[in-house]
Amino acid sequence: MLKSQILCIMKSFVTSHNSSKIGTLEGYLQLSRPLNVVIGIFSIFIGAFITGNFSPGFYILGACLSGAMITVAANAINDYFDIDIDRINKPSRPLPSGKVTPAQAYWFSLLLFILGIFLAGLINRYTLSIALIASLLLYLYSYRLKRTVLWGNLTVSLVSGLAFVYGGAAVKRLSLALIPATFAFLYHFGRELLKDMEDMHGDRLQAANTFPIRFGIRATQALITCIFLLLIFATLLPYIWGIFGLTYLLLVIAGVDVILLYVIISQWQDASPKNLHRLSNWLKLGMLLGLVAIYVGVTF
């Protein structure tokens, strides 16, 4: 049975090359989710830079490239396993719209996972271990864990935090990288729950057992509120403890905490998929602003 499935995928992959090359290239770009890749690269860079020593630089560049490959691979495999849900929730995505075939997405993802892990192995054994663990978790997340209560949310949040640890591991200095890693874990945990609320209709039709489906919208809103309030408090601690200065504090309050408060209030006022999608995009902006705040906190 497994052999026949593999042959079927390979046949689909070969025949798919008859499709429009322009559409396929556009689909691959959309499949990669460039903004997520930029955030991942910047996170790895910050994880290394926060240690106070940007050396050896080529190891950091290798980690950023490896992390970018694994991020794109994770996005592609997620779309591969979510094609039925995306046909309902997001029909414009590359697979349901036909810009990329399922076979193309699968092999594209597999190739990038392998290349990302291989490149990580050229840096040191710590980065290799993190790349292997992250890749396995990301695959399992898309294959099974995403449709479970909280396990999927915790998995993607953990991997997001590992991006900073990955940067620190590239230069074999991890301690300060744990600060943004903790922020990233909480930030993504709340955002993943928000996205689960947004996708409830398609998830329910596909028998996905996510937290909002299991416990309801109100319970999910309450959990998101608790997570983001905890995160807001956590962002103040590096200043209180004297790790980062006043510039960091002002930037993190204006660029991250204000967005978090806005999301908390807005999700209670309007839990429609349209508004939740908008809030998810605001949180993406908050990620970038948070990275800038940490970078400035280290630099000045």
Please give the chain's pLDDT, 300 residues, in tens: 434 444 444 444 444 444 445 457 888 999 999 988 999 999 999 998 886 666 667 889 999 999 999 999 999 999 999 898 888 888 889 999 888 999 999 999 999 999 999 999 999 999 999 999 999 999 999 998 988 889 999 999 999 999 999 998 988 877 788 999 999 999 999 999 999 999 898 888 877 889 999 999 999 999 999 999 999 999 999 999 998 999 999 999 999 999 999 999 999 999 999 999 999 999 999 999 999 998 888 776
Does residue 219 lie in a domain region? yes
Does residue 217 lie in a domain region? yes
In angstroms, rounded to a whole number, what is the distance separating the alpha carbons of residues 52 and 256?
A: 23
Does residue 7 lie in a domain region? no
**Residue 54 φ/ψ, nearest 5 degrees:** -90, 60
Looking at residue 146, what DSSP letter applies?
G
Q: What share of the chain is helix, strand, coil (3-state, %, to 5)?
A: 85, 0, 15
Whole-number pLDDT of residue 234: 97
> DSSP letters along 52-97, please?
T---SHHHHHHHHHHHHHHHHHHHHHHHHHTHHHHHHH-TTSHHHH
Rg over CA atoms, the chain: 20
In angstroms, rounded to a whole number, what is the distance separating the alpha carbons of residues 141 and 206?
A: 16
Q: What CATH number does residue 140 fall under?
A: 1.10.357.140
- Where in 100-245 does DSSP place strands (E)? none
Does residue 268 lie in a domain region? yes
Q: Which domain holds residue 137?
A: 21-299
Look-up of token digits 């999608």: 277
Does residue 144 lie in a domain region? yes
For residue 280, CA distances in Å to 79, 164, 168, 277, 285 come to 18, 21, 28, 5, 9
- Give, in degrees to the nearest 5, the angle at Cα 132 between 77 and 139: 20
Does residue 15 lie in a domain region? no
For residue 235, CA distances in Å to 109, 139, 228, 241 come to 34, 30, 10, 11
In angstroms, rounded to a whole number, what is the distance separating the alpha carbons of residues 34 and 272?
A: 26
Does residue 120 lie in a domain region? yes
Does residue 287 lie in a domain region? yes
Whole-number pLDDT of residue 50: 82
Whole-number pLDDT of residue 67: 96
Whole-number pLDDT of residue 268: 97
Whole-number pLDDT of residue 86: 85
Number of domains in the chain: 1
Look up the pTM and report it: 0.84
Whole-number pLDDT of residue 16: 43
List of residues 6+ apart from 224 with CB closer than 8 A:
190, 193, 194, 263, 264, 267
